Amino acid sequence: MRLLLDTHVFLWWIGEDDQLPRPIWEAIGDPNNQALLSAAAAWEIVVKAGGGRLRLMEPPEELLPRGIDRARLIMLPVELRHVLRLASLPPIHADPFDRMLVAQALEDGLTLVTGDPVVQSYGVDFIW
């Protein structure tokens, strides 16, 4: 399975947060699965940490490379086809970062790993 991690899932995973359900831990760690992190999620972390809306255990420029490497994540760039897919999405979610993750998951046939019920309502394949 190809898993696209929502931003909160990535942060909880690298922070070893108990809010992350055990099946999600196992899915991310399963060598038969491919876990991806969107450049949009990394951008969200940098923007929100820089604006004081997200507290991190270390600066994003240290946390992101360490977490990506530790989880053996594959970075998913934001491409024009992902941006254009946004045009077909209903305005269910106001957060542009979450909308991009939905567009990427739909466009690339990925399973989105998210606990956000609003994101889940887009009809995207997800696990939680």
Question: For 59-107, how does the pLDDT look when each residue is reduced to its tens digit (9 = 90+)?
Answer: 999 999 999 998 899 999 999 999 999 999 998 999 999 999 999 999 9
Closest by CA to 100, choosing from 14, 1, 4, 3, is 4
Structural domains counted in the chain: 1
Query: Alpha-carbon distance 123 to 126, whole Å?
Result: 9
- Report the predicted TM-score, pTM, of the whole model to 2 decimal places: 0.95
**Residue 57: its pLDDT value, please?**
87
Percent of the chain surpassing pLDDT 90? 93
Query: Alpha-carbon distance 117 to 45, whole Å?
Result: 20
Place of tokens 């990535």: 10
Stated as kind and residue range, the H or E segment containing 112 is strand 111-113
Measured in degrees and rounded to the nearest 5, phi and psi for residue 5 equal -80, 130
Structural domain for 12, as ranges: 2-127
**CATH classification of the domain holding 16:** 3.40.50.1010
